[in-house]
Amino acid sequence: MPLSAVNPARYDQLLAAKVVRVAALLAPYSPPAPVVYPSAPTGFRMRAEFRIWHEGDELDYVMFRRDDPATPVPIHDFPIGCDRIRQLMPLLRDALKADDTLRRKLFQVEFLSTLAGETLITLVYHRKLLADWESAATRLAAGLQCSLVGRSRRQKIVIGDTFVRESLTVAGRAFSYHQYEQAFTQPNAGVNIDMLTWACERSATAPGNLLELYCGNGNFTLPLAAHFDQVIATELAKTSVRAARENLALNAIDNVRIIRLSAREVTQAMGGEREFRRLAELPRPLRDYDLRTLFVDPPRAGLDEHTVQMAGSFEAIIYISCNPQTLADNLALLCRSHRVEHFALFDQFPYTDHMECGVFLVRK
């Protein structure tokens, strides 16, 4: 997204246009009128990534336009960034400019921040990092009061932690999360809380126990667990599985089992096509868990055809989508057996064409 598109004065108008467009796309599946959850117009983004451009003694954060990928655009202000990222950006740039050990062959900078006030900065280099870099980076991390990770090819040096601590309050309860460096987290924390709250409201009337696919670090899993006797949550990425288990322990949640399986493997297990040794971690067979509600938050490609078929066997489906087009494709199949009872739109990415959707489907 070019920062030239950021126009807080027109935020409401831009959001309204997106709502009309997405509602029209999903209209063939007869959803109710959407409940719309807007974002804060500025200061909403908890993650940021910039290339570093060296020009003589100068050093700038830059981005590149899609229509002109060869011309760097210096970033002097980042209005969509959270307050902590905006505060740190000039302090970090000045520190890098003043220290050749830190700036030499620096290629990229990544920020990861939280509502809880923690920030982790990743510096990516095109050179090997030696002891002098680690000494300088340790001083820098102390001065900025944040954790710092240095990366180069086959090398990772950590100053502090490899994660930040987040706290999200849903329905009056604060949930604690470890969010790991270079692992997926929701970029708009305020809208994320809206999504968590909406999903929990739908779960209050959902039947049976819950199967969750693509659970990531447990972002949805933790608050959803309060609404079911048992939850089976699956995720393929090892870092995310580790984080999800840590986050369950942090919050003393003991009715969730995290299993490292892909969505396709879950489909095969549910259909009895294959047996997986990883399912032996469960205290009883998967079929004995009375799984009648499904929660999915898939990648932009949506659900594959096998997973859609498996989803159709559930009494209720809570579907969070980051791509309205693939959601529409999936609904074309799911609405043969289910109807859309609730529909929500979450403006996770203001000033872009992207819109996060939530649908709650129940069997006809």
Catalytic sites, residue numbers: 322, 356
Q: What type of residue sits at position 92?
A: L
User: What span, in angstroms and rounded, lies between the C-alpha atoms of 183 and 110?
Assistant: 12
Give 293's Cβ-side CA count (13 Å radius).
Answer: 22
Q: Which residues contact 161 (CB under 8 A, 6 or more apart)?
A: 120, 147
| Radius of gyration from C-alpha coordinates of the chain | 22
How far is CA 93 from its chain centroid?
27
CA distances from 343 to 29, 76, 210, 301, 350 (A): 11, 39, 20, 20, 19
Instruction: Look at the block and give the residue holding tokens 């900078």.
Output: 109
Nearest to 302 by CA among 318, 322, 282: 322
User: What span, in angstroms and rounded, lies between the C-alpha atoms of 322 and 335?
Assistant: 19
Edge-to-edge strand list for the sheet holding 256-259 = 35-37, 338-346, 356-363, 316-321, 291-296, 209-213, 231-234, 256-259
